[in-house]
Amino acid sequence: MGLLEGIGSPADVRALAPRQVEALAGEIRTFLVESVSRTGGHLGPNLGVVELTIAMHRVFESPADTFVFDTGHQSYVHKLLTGRQDFSQLRRRDGLSGYPSRAESAHDVVENSHASTALSWADGIAKANELQGRGDRSVVAVIGDGALTGGMAWEALNNIADGQDRRLVIVVNDNGRSYDPTIGGLAHHLDTLRTTQGYENVLSWGKRTLRRSGPPGRAAYDALHGLKKGIKDVVAPQGMFEDLGLKYVGPVDGHDEAAVERALRRARTYAGPVIVHVITEKGRGYTPAEQDIADRFHAVGQIHPETGLPLAPSRFGWTSVFADEIVRIGRRRSDVVAVTAAMLQPVGLAPFAAEFPSRVFDVGIAEQHAATSAAGMAFGGLHPVVAVYATFLNRAFDQVLMDVALHRAGVTFVLDRAGLTGDDGASHNGMWDMAMLGVVPGLRLAAPRDEATLRTALREAVDVDDAPTVVRYPKGAVGDAIPALDEVDGVDVLARTGTGERSVLVVAVGAMAPTALEVADLLGAHGLRVTVVDPRWVLPVSPGLVKLVGDHDHVVTIEDGVVDGGIGAIVAQRTREAGIGTPVQSIGIPRAFLDHATRDQLVGTLRLRPADIARDVLGALGES
């Protein structure tokens, strides 16, 4: 039996002899590559923190000592060391979450968090420990250099530095990357820390020199103090942290478990907050990941474990369409610039950056800053295109509302992975955007249904210079083209079916168009006369759509967003305001956090399959 199989709790990790730790690290890496290659998941981040996580569990005693992982995509090793070694259903329904999960273990605290939040959590827990008389407990926050580019992390550091009697250890897991290489001033600062001769080494030299020169007098001590002060800014850039009132330990080789353990034990002896700076390599120990400069192994689907190549080639996706069209727009419009938040590759901006390097701005994990900086660019005569995952725009709502919309700034937000994404769980479903953005005055939102309408929507969006525009699309492959039969008052008509007396208007929102067409066929077969339309621009609700509502006996809206306050709700409101009595039935996602599962499983559970929707419509019409 291997060492890993004998680990049922952190106590088993602490019981290992030092000579066994390296063997355990090797077993964990082998397990991760073999397991994640079968299920998909975050491979690179976890391979990089094997020794670090082992050391944490040998020095501290979770769950009495609280571990908080920023973002949480590097928590697989933590799961293995806390008794969760069945990875056969990782990120699948009824299997382990791809992130920390309170439902799984008392060792997990923060579930599926967005980035740059761990230090605020740790600050709050440390304050609670202090006030509740738990002064012997430590809080350990693991945050990457990428997450440190987020402003919320620095808000937390400002407060943490004020709590000098609180046991709080901040482990900076410095691998030079988030999804992409870490950018900005902080990245340069950490790079200096990695490459500069150690401050303590220089001081040790000074002390040895003084010892050789005879008994130290006051002048010698003053000289040593002057040496310390003089070299601080040259070879000790950790002064930035120390000037905040935070002790600093490091940098430490994050793949030398004994060295990391020593650094953490030293940090634990401090009564106040301390930063332990650990240098790691993302993808450590797996050759395909170590040699990959594009960071394809941050998160993977099913791959060949030997080569790292995908088992099945990816179909042409929505992101690829955006990537191609934004380059075309950039060639035509020199004022169009691109902005993203540490996700240049995942959102498809790499081709734009390659062709127009001076016109792309990666601001780090700072969506709030991205939105407001874009407003400033618009004021200066540019048209920024801010590309982020839909779930991450939640973080910048105030900036979209008060900086962009209030100032009528021509900024386009492109939301990738909108709607149900599934495997990554509650925090990553991009289902909140339409309901959230529906309250923003002047905002226009497009939900394209296929490749052609995505390209058209992008071109139309960047032509708007007096209001924010949003273009949203789902994760995955683009389906077949869905041409319009004709256009009525600016609304695309996709199908007309059935010959019954009672008429039903089915309003398809974006990627739900194929579902809407299947629903229409089912309703037509039940003796209803059905028209399927796609407004394409769903916010604001167009007068043409309101008119079509009045021409039918019943209306059904189908969207892959939260139904409360969503597009259907807004259509119903506009219909009532126009004095039209046609009932509007809204089909969408309930207001709830959804557990991880495949998209198809979620669609079934939420009754968003065509047959389910058709039954619900017939029920609303009083038909069997």
Chain segment 458-472, per-residue pLDDT in tens: 999 999 999 999 999
Is 367 annotated as belonging to a binding site? Answer: yes
Structure tokens at 3: 């060492």
pTM: 0.84
Exposed e or buried b per residue across 99-123, where buried means at least 16 C-beta atoms within 10 angstroms of its C-beta: bbbeebbebbbbbbbbbbbbbbbbb
Per-residue model confidence as pLDDT tens digits over 46-57: 888 999 999 999
The pLDDT of 490-512, averaged and rounded, is: 94
- The pLDDT assigned to 199 comes to 42
Per-residue model confidence as pLDDT tens digits over 318-331: 999 999 999 999 99
Determine what percent of the chain is predicted with pLDDT higher than 90: 55
Catalytic residue among 58, 91, 395, 529: 395
Is 426 annotated as belonging to a binding site? Answer: no
Is 419 annotated as belonging to a binding site? Answer: no
177 has pLDDT over 60: no
* CATH level 2 (architecture), domain 4-196+237-290: 3-Layer(aba) Sandwich (3.40)
How many CB atoms sit inside 10 A of residue 424's CB? 22
Half-sphere exposure (CA, 13 Å, Cβ side) for 514?
7
- The pLDDT assigned to 216 comes to 53
- Report helix angle 151-160 to 118-131, nearest 10: 20
Catalytic residue among 51, 257, 261, 367: 367
- The pLDDT assigned to 353 comes to 95
- The pLDDT assigned to 223 comes to 55
Is 175 annotated as belonging to a binding site? Answer: yes
How many CB atoms sit inside 10 A of residue 501's CB? 8
CATH number for 318-472 (one of 3.30.70.1340, 3.40.190.10, 3.40.50.970, 1.10.220.110): it is 3.40.50.970
Per-residue model confidence as pLDDT tens digits over 109-143: 988 678 888 898 889 999 999 888 888 899 999 99
Residue intervals of the chain classified under CATH 3.40.50.920 are 486-620
Catalytic residue among 91, 247, 282, 475: 282
Is 145 annotated as belonging to a binding site? Answer: yes
pLDDT band at residue 1 using 50, 70 and 90 as cut-offs: low
CA distance 196 to 173: 18
338: Cβ–Cβ under 8 A, 6 or more apart, which residues? 326, 330, 349, 352, 353, 356, 359, 360, 361, 384, 385, 387
How many CB atoms sit inside 10 A of residue 26's CB? 15
Q: Is 247 a catalytic residue?
A: no
Q: What is the CATH number of domain 486-620?
A: 3.40.50.920
The pLDDT of 554-568, averaged and rounded, is: 95
- The pLDDT assigned to 211 comes to 54
Q: Is 315 a catalytic residue?
A: no
How many CB atoms sit inside 10 A of residue 296's CB? 18
Residue 22 contacts residue 74 (beta carbons within 8 Å):
no
Q: Is 395 a catalytic residue?
A: yes
- The pLDDT assigned to 231 comes to 41
Is 114 annotated as belonging to a binding site? Answer: yes
Is 428 annotated as belonging to a binding site? Answer: no
Which residues pair with residue 608 across a beta bridge?
none
Q: Do the strands 503-508 and 554-562 form a parallel or antiparallel pair, or are they unpaired?
A: parallel
Residue intervals of the chain classified under CATH 3.40.50.970 are 4-196+237-290, 318-472
